[in-house]
Chain A
């Protein structure tokens, strides 16, 4: 695939799928304020994905609604981290923490992309992601220093989630050209920045970051290989849209 399309699909699909998952916290949060916060982040992420699908549309791909609501799982390029069910709050919080640290750094770097339309979107998006990271840090620090029960849960969630989080940085065969053309700094550089960024926050908690070198990343998402959770998510998302394909909804 063309490197620009390859990159844009990965970015857009990550945002769409995690946005969708975050929205599932409606009515289920541990406190109302978290229902509201996850909904805000979901709305931002949906908005980000819409802008990115808009860039793809400008490059000749189908309309955002068609791209988002009619593809099947093998056609999606999101990392597997984003598609896992929301689980309990500890998992959703840790996923949000690990993902959004990477996402903020990613969009900060993309603000200097050689592809100017993407750089413009990134400059706006990174400003919103700053608040997502602030939210994640606040909660991770709070729960990661609170009761023994909370610390144990957060540590277990961290250990469960990290192999999936490493899937954020899975590359495609377009990677060398993405870097050489100045589209993006590349996943390896991003991962190095991310490790420094999450370590700094975790150091302020009772949580321990395992040696990432010892973990096996759960790869495949970028190539269209997904967990069993993605297709049901997509079926649900398109349930109404598909009732009448001729309709304007």
Chain B
């Protein structure tokens, strides 16, 4: 899982601050990116680039640890040894991704402690889909397959971006996500072709998750501003709509193939090969992203409790002279 473009754009009111950057260095920086070179932590970079990337990688990392919660609650309930062990390994990977991503973000100058503190204080966001509940085992399967699938679409694109540590982390993450996709697909197919109770559980979970899945890639491009400079700097590699179209094209046929339906009567591929669908409820999306979703408070409360309960361990571990500077990726 779990990065999504949904919260990565520059806020509409933000100034770019580019007028304060050295024009020669800036031109050189942009030329390097245009040539396909990677930017490394010790290289010169504009403040806006540093800020946006920090925000983006940090949000991605937060999405991994917060995202491990809704699936994590099903580890202790997973039915049978095979599912239990796979669910554990899968969720563990996600926490490992967070570790890689926090390390990548730290190369830009913000410590993991600061990032986690901003997360529990509500200053930084995570993928909005994890503010929705997972009331059944089938919901967890839907996340494993389709949310991870969405994340792969996004991450495969971003792995070709310009910041070296993030790209290397994403390469490793995508390799593991490919297994998650198989795991999730297997779990969904198993349920969708199982007993009537299992099929019903799966269909209901899919119905519950579809509206959130449709918002996973963020608002429609026509509502999203300021992405041009991020695209030029290869911070953002594909638009929200392009990712959404790619996802629909790859997965809707697979969902239909196993006999599941999707709760959108307008969902169809038109003659130009473009997917049409009912416009997601962006007002609801905004409301949830701003904190008023069904699980925002619970997710943050769990994370805060973990931070508070574990503070004594981190205090004991702290060696002020040994600041961690090398990324794992």
Which residues of A does B touch, CB under 8 Å?
Answer: 20, 23-24, 26-36, 39-40, 42-43, 46-47, 50, 64-65, 68-69, 88-89, 142-143, 146-147, 149-150, 153, 233, 236-237, 239-241, 243-244, 246-249
A50 touches B81 (CB 8 A): yes
CB contacts under 8 Å to A, within B94-132, are: 95-96, 98-99, 102
Kindly state the separation between the CA atoms of A248 and B79 in the bound complex, as whole angstroms. Answer: 9
Given A27-B68, A39-B91, A149-B316, residue A46 in contact with residue B198 (CB < 8 A): no
Give me 15 other A-B pairs in contact (C-beta within 8 A), A24-B76, A28-B302, A146-B317 excluded.
A20-B76, A26-B72, A26-B88, A27-B95, A27-B303, A31-B314, A33-B99, A36-B95, A39-B88, A43-B89, A47-B85, A69-B79, A89-B310, A150-B312, A237-B76
User: Which residue of the partner chain, among B89, B306, B315, contacts A149 with CB atoms under 8 Å?
Assistant: B315
A26 touches B306 (CB 8 A): no
CB contacts under 8 Å to A, within B77-96, are: 77-81, 83-85, 88-89, 91-92, 95-96
B194: Cβ under 8 A from any A Cβ: yes
A36 touches B99 (CB 8 A): yes
Given A88-B309, A239-B77, residue A27 in contact with residue B316 (CB < 8 A): no
A39 touches B92 (CB 8 A): yes
B99 touches A26 (CB 8 A): no
Kindly state the separation between the CA atoms of A237 and B72 in the bound complex, as whole angstroms. Answer: 13
B147: Cβ under 8 A from any A Cβ: no
Minimal beta-carbon separation of A69 from chain B (angstroms): 7
Which of B92, B98, B190, B316 counts the most chain A CB atoms within 10 A? B316
Q: Give the chain A neighbours of B313 by CB distance below 8 A.
A: 30-31, 34, 89, 143, 150
User: Which residue of the partner chain, among B102, B194, B316, contacts A150 with CB atoms under 8 Å?
Assistant: B316
Q: Give the chain B neighbours of A240 by CB distance below 8 A.
A: 74, 77-79, 137
Q: Give the chain B neighbours of A239 by CB distance below 8 A.
A: 77
Kindly state the separation between the CA atoms of A220 and B98 in the bound complex, as whole angstroms. Answer: 42
Given A32-B65, A32-B99, A247-B195, residue A64 in contact with residue B315 (CB < 8 A): no
User: Which residue of the partner chain, among A32, A69, A248, contacts B98 with CB atoms under 8 Å?
Assistant: A32
Q: What 10 pairs across the A-B complex have the smallest Cβ distances?
A: A30-B310, A146-B316, A249-B79, A30-B313, A150-B316, A39-B92, A26-B72, A241-B79, A240-B79, A244-B197
Kindly state the separation between the CA atoms of A23 and B95 in the bound complex, as whole angstroms. Answer: 13
B69: Cβ under 8 A from any A Cβ: yes
Which residues of B does A touch, CB under 8 Å?
Answer: 65, 68-69, 72, 74-81, 83-85, 88-89, 91-92, 95-96, 98-99, 102, 137, 190, 194-195, 197-198, 201, 302-303, 305-306, 309-317
Kindly state the separation between the CA atoms of A241 and B83 in the bound complex, as whole angstroms. Answer: 11
Minimal beta-carbon separation of B308 from chain A (angstroms): 10
Q: Give the chain B neighbours of A24 by CB distance below 8 A.
A: 75-76
User: Which residue of the partner chain, among A27, A29, A237, A241, contacts B69 with CB atoms under 8 Å?
Assistant: A27
Q: Give the chain A neighbours of B195 by CB distance below 8 A.
A: 244, 246-247
Q: Give the chain A neighbours of B314 by CB distance below 8 A.
A: 30-31
B312 touches A153 (CB 8 A): yes
B310 touches A27 (CB 8 A): no
**Can you report 19 A-B residue pairs in the complex whose CB atoms are below 8 A from each other?**
A20-B76, A26-B72, A27-B65, A27-B303, A28-B302, A28-B306, A29-B306, A32-B95, A32-B102, A39-B88, A43-B85, A43-B88, A147-B316, A150-B312, A237-B76, A240-B137, A241-B80, A247-B195, A249-B83
Which of B69, B72, B315 counts the most chain A CB atoms within 10 A? B72
Minimal beta-carbon separation of A209 from chain B (angstroms): 20
B306 touches A27 (CB 8 A): yes
Kindly state the separation between the CA atoms of A142 and B190 in the bound complex, as whole angstroms. Answer: 45
B92 touches A43 (CB 8 A): yes
Which of B74, B77, B95 counts the most chain A CB atoms within 10 A? B95
Q: Give the chain A neighbours of B68 by CB distance below 8 A.
A: 26-27, 35
User: Looking across the interface, which residue of chain B has its beta carbon closest to that of A236?
Assistant: B76
Kindly state the separation between the CA atoms of A69 and B79 in the bound complex, as whole angstroms. Answer: 8
Kindly state the separation between the CA atoms of A33 and B316 in the bound complex, as whole angstroms. Answer: 15
A46 touches B310 (CB 8 A): no
User: Looking across the interface, which residue of chain A has its beta carbon closest to that of B96?
Assistant: A36
Kindly state the separation between the CA atoms of A50 and B85 in the bound complex, as whole angstroms. Answer: 10
Minimal beta-carbon separation of B58 from chain A (angstroms): 14
Kindly state the separation between the CA atoms of A36 and B328 in the bound complex, as whole angstroms. Answer: 15
A26 touches B92 (CB 8 A): yes
Q: Give the chain B neighbours of A20 by CB distance below 8 A.
A: 76
Kindly state the separation between the CA atoms of A47 and B85 in the bound complex, as whole angstroms. Answer: 8
